[in-house]
A and B are shown apart, each in its own frame.
Chain A
Amino acid sequence: GNSVTQMEGPVTLSEEAFLTINCTYTATGYPSLFWYVQYPGEGLQLLLKATKADDKGSNKGFEATYRKETTSFHLEKGSVQVSDSAVYFCALSRGGSGNTGKLIFGQGTTLQVKP
Chain B
Amino acid sequence: DAGVIQSPRHEVTEMGQEVTLRCKPISGHDYLFWYRQTMMRGLELLIYFNNNVPIDDSGMPEDRFSAKMPNASFSTLKIQPSEPRDSAVYFCASSASSGRGYEQYFGPGTRLTVT
Chain A residues near B (Cβ < 8 Å)? 32, 34, 36, 42-46, 49, 51, 89, 93, 99-103, 105, 107-108
Contacts and interface: CB of A to CB of B under 8 A. Distances in A.
A34 B97 CA distance: 16
A101 B108 contact: no
A101 B50 contact: yes
Interface size class of B (residues with CB under 8 A): 20 to 34
A44 B104 CA distance: 9
B50 to A, nearest CB: 6
25 contacts: A32-B102, A32-B103, A34-B101, A34-B103, A43-B4, A43-B93, A43-B106, A43-B107, A43-B109, A44-B43, A44-B91, A44-B93, A44-B106, A45-B106, A46-B104, A46-B105, A51-B101, A93-B103, A100-B56, A101-B48, A101-B55, A102-B45, A102-B48, A102-B56, A105-B43
Contact of A93 (B48, B101, B106): B101
Contacts of A45: 106
Output the residue of A44, A105, A108 with the most chain B CB within 10 A.
A44
Nearest to B97: A101
B98 to A, nearest CB: 12
Nearest to A50: B101
